[in-house]
Chains A and B, each alone.
Chain A
C-alpha cells in the first residue's frame, strides 16, 4: 500500500506541503475570501428588511387613504341625500301653499258670482212686479171697462207672487 510506504521520502514532504498549502489557504480564506461574503449577506439582509419595512409603511399609508376615501364618500352620500330631502320638502310646501291660495281665490270668486246672481234676481223680481201690475190693470180695464185702483192691483199681484214664490 503506497500510503504506508514510509521508505518513500515523498510521504513526509507531502505532509510538509499539506501544512503549507492548508495554512496559506486558511489565511487567504479567513482574511480575503470570507469577509466580503459576510458583508454581502449582511447587506442583503438589511436591504431586504428595509424594503419590507418600506412596503409595510406604504401599505399602511394606502390603507389610511382608502379609509379616508370611504369616509369621504359616505359623508358625500349623506349630504346629497339630506339635500334631496330638503329640496323635496320645500317643493311640497310650495305646492301646498299654491293650492291653498288657489282655493281661497276660487272661493272668493264663487261668493262674488253668487252675490251678483242674487242681485240680478232681486232686480228681476222687482221688475216683474211692476210689469205684472201694469198688465193686470190693463187686462182688467179691457175686461170690465173700469181701471182698478193702482194700490189694489199692486196688493193683489203682490199676494199672487208671494203665493207663487211660497
Chain B
C-alpha cells in the first residue's frame, strides 16, 4: 500500500475490502476490538485478586475511569448509562489504538461508522429525555426567561444546535483520525521517495522520518483523547437529557 512509483496515495488505507461477502476489513477490526475489550475485562478480572495484577489493574482502571466520568458528568442518575458509555469509550479507544498498528484498518476513520455511533448517542439521549420529561422536553429548545418575542429566532437555533450534535460528534472523531493517518502516510511516503533518490535523498529522508516518529506519538495521544472527548460529550448530552439544562 506504500507509495507505488512516484504517486502519493494517502487514501487507499481507508479502502473497504471484503473479508467475506458483506463483511469488510473495517468490520473485522470492529470484531477484533470487541474481542479485545471482552478479553481484557473477562481475562483481566479472572484472578479476582484483592491486590490486582497488571491486567486486572488495567480492567479496574478502565472501569473506574469511565465510572468517575459518568458520575461526575451525569450525577447519581448516570449509573444506568455507565455500561453504554463504557462500551462506547472502549470501542472507540480500541478502534483508534488498533488503527495505530501497521497494516491495521482504522474503522473510526469512516464517517459512516462515527456518524452511526453519534446517531446511536443522539437517539438514546432524545429517548431518555422524552422518557423522563415527556412533552416538557420540548421546553429545552426555549430557555426559560428568554423574551417571548425572540422565540421565532431562538427555537430554530436551539433545534439546529441540538441536531448538529450528531454532526459535530461524528465529524470530530472522523476528521481527527483521517487527518492523523493521512499525515502519517504522507510523511512515510516522503521517507520512501527521498530514500530512493540517492545519498543526499537518504540524508534528507531523515527529516520526514523524525517527523513521523513524533507524529506516531502524537497520534497515540489523539487516539485516546478523541475517545475521551466522544465519551465526555455523550455524558454531557445525557446530563442534559436527564436534567434539561
Whether chains A and B associate is: yes
Residues of A within 8 A of B (CB): 1-4, 8-19, 21-22, 24-26, 28-30, 32-34, 36-38, 40-41, 43-44, 47
Closest B residue, CB atoms, query A41: B60
| Chain B residues closer than 8 Å to A22, beta-carbon distance | 30, 34, 87, 91, 117, 120
Contact, CB under 8 Å: B113 / A18: yes
CA gap between A50 and B38 in the complex, in Å? 32
Bound Cα distance A14, B14 (Å): 13
Bound together, the chains give a CA A104 to CA B60 distance in angstroms of 99
Q: Which of B95-130 contact A (CB under 8 A)?
A: 107, 109-113, 116-117, 120
Cβ–Cβ contact A33 & B109, under 8 A: no
Which of chain A's residues have a CB closer than 8 A to the CB of B174?
Answer: 3
The 4 lowest CB-CB distance pairs between A and B, nearest first, are: A30-B83, A33-B41, A17-B27, A10-B16
B26 interfacial contact with A, CB 8 Å: yes
> Contact at B112–A14, with CB atoms within 8 Å?
yes
Closest Cβ neighbor of B56 among chain A residues: A40
Decide if A29 touches B117 in the complex (CB within 8 Å). Answer: no
The answer to whether the Cβ of B54 comes within 8 Å of any Cβ in the partner chain is: no
CA distance A9 to B17 in the complex (A): 10
Q: Please, which residue of chain B has its CB at the minimum distance from the CB of A1?
A: B11
B42 within 8 A of A: yes
Say yes or no: is B201 at the interface (Cβ < 8 Å to chain A): no
- Contact assessment for A3 and B178 in the assembled complex, using a CB-CB cutoff below 8 Å: yes
Cross-chain contact B87 with A26 (CB below 8 angstroms)? yes
Flag if B48 contacts A14 (CB, 8 Å).
Answer: no
Are B15 and A2 in touch, CB under 8 angstroms? yes
User: Could you say which of B12, B42, B45, B87 has the most chain A C-beta atoms within 10 Å of its C-beta?
Assistant: B87
Q: A10-B18, A24-B34 are in contact. Are A15 and B116 (CB under 8 A)?
A: yes
B residues lining the A interface (CB < 8 Å): 11-12, 14-18, 22-24, 26-27, 30-31, 34, 37-38, 41-42, 45, 48, 50, 59-60, 63-64, 82-84, 86-87, 90-91, 107, 109-113, 116-117, 120, 174, 178
Contact B27 A14 (CB under 8 A): yes
Q: Given A14-B110, A18-B113, A26-B83, output 17 extra A-B contacts at Cβ < 8 Å.
A: A10-B16, A10-B17, A10-B18, A10-B22, A13-B27, A14-B27, A17-B22, A17-B23, A17-B30, A18-B27, A28-B34, A29-B90, A30-B84, A33-B42, A34-B83, A37-B63, A38-B63
Q: Would you give the shortest CB distance from B131 to chain A, in whole angstroms?
A: 18
CB distance from B133 to the nearest CB of A (A): 24
Main secondary structure of the interface of A (DSSP, over half): helix
Q: A13-B24, A17-B23, A29-B38 are in contact. Are A1 and B14 (CB under 8 A)?
A: yes
Min CB distance A106 to B, Å, is: 90
Contact for A11 among B16, B38, B120, CB less than 8 A: B16
Cα A37 to Cα B64 in complex, Å, equals 9
| Across-interface contacts of B120 in A (CB, < 8 A) | 19, 22
A14 contacts across to B, CB distance below 8 A: 16, 24, 26-27, 107, 110, 112-113
Partner of B38, one of A12, A18, A25: A25
Shortest beta-carbon distance, B15 to chain A, in Å? 5
B16 touches A25 (CB 8 A): no
Q: For residue A1, which residues in chain B have a CB less than 8 angstroms away from its CB?
A: 11, 14
* Chain B contacts for A28, CB-based, 8 A: 34, 38
Alpha-carbon distance A47/B49, docked complex (angstroms): 12
CA distance A3 to B109 in the complex (A): 8
In the bound assembly, the distance between CA atoms of A14 and B50 in angstroms comes to 41
Compute how far the CA of A24 lies from the CA of B60 in the bound complex, rounded to whole angstroms.
21
A43: chain B residues at CB < 8 Å are 50
Report how far A32 CA is from B178 CA in the complex, Å: 34
B50 touches A10 (CB 8 A): no
The verdict on A3 contacting B110 (CB below 8 Å), with A10-B16, A29-B87 known, is yes
